[in-house]
Amino acid sequence: MSHCWQKTLIGPESTIKHALEIINSEALRVALVVDEESKLLGIVTDGDIRRALLNNQSLNDCVSSVMNISPCTARFGATKKELIQLMESRDILSVPILDDSLYVVGLETLHSALSRPKYNNPVFIMAGGFGTRLRPLTDDCPKPMLKVGDKPILETLIRGFIKSGFENFYISTHYMPEVIQAYFGDGSSLGVNITYVHEDAPLGTGGALGLLPDDIPADLPLIMMNGDVLTNVDYQRLLEFHNENEADATMCVREYDYQIPYGVINGDGNRITSMIEKPTHRFFVNAGIYVISPRVIHSVPKNYNIDMPTLLEQHMKEREKVLMFPIHEYWLDIGRMDDFKRAQSDIHSLGLD
């Protein structure tokens, strides 16, 4: 039984944002909603929150609006074998433990070491950019090799994938490729396989797909992402989502709020019909992380320049199988000096260093 399950307890009046903080700060991937006497009212997982975001709910809404009020539970005294069988049969990662009065007395999890899969899916990392906005730091070092904490950004990214069970990596290079190759070699020092593809000229965010070797798995989607992103996104869940929905491509998106600093006036001719003071508009923005199926990979010719949004728009027109996956986990695109400085302060609290 988890020793820190009490930290997952929240009240029904808590916000969705608070539930997110619990899910992201603890390793248990769930928040338990209880009343004042610790009687279970429901549970919240990251999947519940992603669905809420897609339904345009606010992070400031009460968690009671998204919680599962009929979760799978177990009674106190169940053996570990029984709990594992229960979780595996229901395809869940955790189960609240209740006493005879339905009060929460524990939380059992299906430990990652027990069932963590190994993935043969390729991971394709874009590491060829010039990093011009980070000069002079990038004058003699490619941006993905800049150190955040005591490791290059690219190493932190790769180690995150390794923890999730991925072993086969492809790195696209252009600017100062020798620095990256000298540091990582063939990946054996990290216990993985690394293959490099080199862009003689920049091919856009999607063009490097055409340089991948012919021997990549023909029937497996790959995860593709920019090499300057610091994140603790759940790659396993991302890949599961893509496969479950039989998508051609899945784009990770991040919620972005923009507040207009003025009162907005709507009118009909010269008559004012409504006034909204400093409204906030909510958008999803591209997070630079994708799952790409073989159908899309093979559509990119060799040495063909194309950006990912353009490539995905082409496939959207052919079939309605380009999906989005909202991420609520920590995410930072290290594009500017302010981002780089923020990453230095964030890395230690994220457990990524």
User: Looking at the domain that runs over 5-115, which CATH code has it been given?
Assistant: 3.10.580.10
Task: Provide the token pair at 17.
Answer: 């944002």
What ranges in the chain are assigned the alpha helix state H?
Answer: 16-25, 46-54, 80-90, 112-115, 153-163, 177-184, 204-207, 235-244, 294-297, 308-318, 337-350
* Domain residue limits, the chain: 5-115, 123-350
* Residue 327 φ/ψ, nearest 5 degrees: -110, 135
Q: What is the pLDDT of residue 352?
A: 60
- β 263-268/271-277 pair status: antiparallel
What pTM did the predictor assign? 0.69
Equal fold, 5-115 vs 123-350: no
* CATH fold label, 123-350: Spore Coat Polysaccharide Biosynthesis Protein SpsA; Chain A (3.90.550)
Q: Which residues contact 13 (CB under 8 A, 6 or more apart)?
A: 62, 64
DSSP states of 232-266 as a string? Answer: ---HHHHHHHHHHTT-SEEEEEEEEEEE-SSEEEE
Q: Which residues of the chain have pLDDT under 50?
A: 112-113
Q: What is the pLDDT of residue 171?
A: 94
Between CA 37 and CA 11 the distance in angstroms is 10
Q: Looking at residue 275, what DSSP letter applies?
A: E
Contact assessment for residue 84 and residue 76, using Cβ atoms and an 8 Å cutoff = no
Contact assessment for residue 49 and residue 66, using Cβ atoms and an 8 Å cutoff = yes
**Mind listing the pLDDT tens digit for each residue in 141-166?**
888 998 888 889 999 999 989 988 89
Task: Provide the token pair at 21.
Answer: 């903080």
Q: What is the pLDDT of residue 112?
A: 41
Q: What is the pLDDT of residue 116?
A: 59
